[in-house]
């Protein structure tokens, strides 16, 4: 009887070790490179007819800055171009914190092709925080907005290859599609100014680009119908029947990935291409490909 019991314990221990090793190999070596190209449909009220049925590729959290970046960026640019997009939108974390990554990152992204351009916003890892002594000891009235600055002229470098970076501003594209974009509001950076971004547009934007999903409440209060976000990486590790324990947002698991809504605002949070450390479990990297459509009956059941 005792022998049978110890045999069972040995078997269970062996299975647990094999399972643990398989899970470790999968989460460290396989899933981080197993990018899903997803195809959600975006229904935008007041979508200009010119944009009906057009294809938008959403990239986020590229994090150039590790040995895998070179082949991954080559694959990404090639894959996105084969999708034949009308528009490419990028919601930040282009690089991983260091200025030396700006040049190779931008060099790769210069190869992206789309009919109506590439527009993006910066993420928290694209910024550096200036020491307080550089901003009047933090007492300068504008110290919050000037305390963070993009690393190594990243925004200008991206602009130079045709990638328009919206820094608390709005733009109207050909065919009347209005986009707004804000600097990142995360636990590391606090530079988003939606009021300023909207002030330069004659009408409410159709779509807001925000690195973090945390802006959903503010965007909803201002009547913005749709947001594209990233930053969470989907949590990177998702516990079955629970979700991701870590999202690096104030809103937690609610907006970690995929569709969510607040009032009349809908948001899609894409899980991102990669991250600064190679770990993904039940949370594959993602490139989202949207087809834009007008809803047949916009917001029929939602309260005003
Ligand atoms: Fe990120
Ligand atoms: Fe981020």
Round the average pLDDT of the chain to a whole number and report it: 90
Distance between CA atoms of residues 292 and 54, nearest Å: 6
Locate all alpha helices (DSSP H) within 161-260, ordered by sequence. Answer: 194-199, 216-221
* ∠ CA 82-28-250, rounded to 5°: 85
Please give the distance, rounded to the nearest whole angstrom, from the Cα atom of residue 100 to the centre of ligand 1.
18
Please give the distance, rounded to the nearest whole angstrom, from the Cα atom of residue 17 to the centre of ligand 2.
34
Please give the distance, rounded to the nearest whole angstrom, from the Cα atom of residue 16 to the centre of ligand 2.
35
Q: Is 80 exceeded by the pLDDT of residue 285?
A: yes
Please give the distance, rounded to the nearest whole angstrom, from the Cα atom of residue 8 to the centre of ligand 1.
44
**SS3 state at 260:** strand
Please give the distance, rounded to the nearest whole angstrom, from the Cα atom of residue 13 to the centre of ligand 2.
39
Please give the distance, rounded to the nearest whole angstrom, from the Cα atom of residue 93 to the centre of ligand 1.
5
Render pLDDT for 36-56 as a digit per residue (tens, 0 to 9): 999 998 889 899 999 999 999
- Length of the chain equals 304
Distance between CA atoms of residues 107 and 127, nearest Å: 19
Distance between CA atoms of residues 253 and 249, nearest Å: 8
Q: Is 70 exceeded by the pLDDT of residue 297?
A: no
Ligand number nearest CA of 123 is 2
Ligand number nearest CA of 212 is 2
Q: Provide the token pair at 91.
A: 């919601």
Q: What is the pTM of this model?
A: 0.90
Distance between CA atoms of residues 155 and 167, nearest Å: 9
The answer to whether the Cα torsion of 101, 81, 268, 163 is positive or negative is positive
**SS3 state at 85:** coil
Assess contact for 44 and 294: CB atoms under 8 A. yes
Q: Provide the token pair at 229.
A: 């976000």
Render pLDDT for 89-115 as a digit per residue (tens, 0 to 9): 999 999 999 999 999 999 999 999 999
CB 267: neighbour CB atoms within 10 A? Answer: 22
The DSSP output letter for 257 is S
């Amino acid at each position: 009887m005792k022998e049978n019991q110890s045999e069972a314990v040995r078997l269970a221990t062996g299975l647990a070790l094999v399972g643990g090793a398989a899970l470790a190999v999968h989460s460290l070596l396989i899933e981080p490179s197993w990018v899903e190209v997803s195809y959600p449909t975006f229904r935008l009220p007041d979508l200009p007819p010119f944009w009906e049925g057009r294809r938008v590729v959403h990239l986020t959290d590229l994090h150039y800055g590790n040995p895998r970046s070179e082949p991954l960026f080559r694959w990404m640019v090639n894959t996105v171009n084969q999708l034949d997009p009308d528009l490419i939108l990028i919601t930040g974390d282009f690089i991983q914190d260091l200025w030396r990554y700006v040049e190779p990152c931008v060099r790769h992204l210069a190869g992206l092709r789309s009919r109506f351009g590439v527009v993006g916003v910066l993420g928290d890892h694209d910024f550096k925080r200036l020491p307080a002594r550089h901003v009047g000891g933090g007492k300068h009235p504008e110290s919050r907005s000037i305390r963070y600055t993009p690393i190594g002229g990243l925004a200008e470098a991206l602009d130079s290859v045709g990638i328009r970076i919206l820094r608390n501003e709005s733009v109207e594209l050909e065919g009347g599609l209005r986009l707004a974009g804000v600097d990142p509001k995360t636990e590391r950076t606090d530079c988003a100014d939606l009021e300023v971004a909207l002030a330069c547009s004659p009408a409410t934007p159709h779509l807001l680009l925000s690195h973090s999903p945390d802006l959903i409440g503010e965007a909803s209060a201002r009547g913005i119908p749709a947001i594209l976000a990233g930053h969470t990486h989907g949590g990177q590790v998702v516990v079955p029947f629970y979700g991701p324990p870590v999202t690096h947002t104030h809103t937690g698991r609610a907006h970690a990935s995929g569709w969510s809504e607040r009032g009349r605002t809908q948001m899609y949070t894409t899980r991102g291409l990669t991250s600064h450390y190679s770990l993904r479990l039940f949370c594959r990297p993602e490139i989202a490909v949207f087809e834009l459509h007008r809803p047949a009956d916009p917001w029929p059941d939602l309260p005003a």
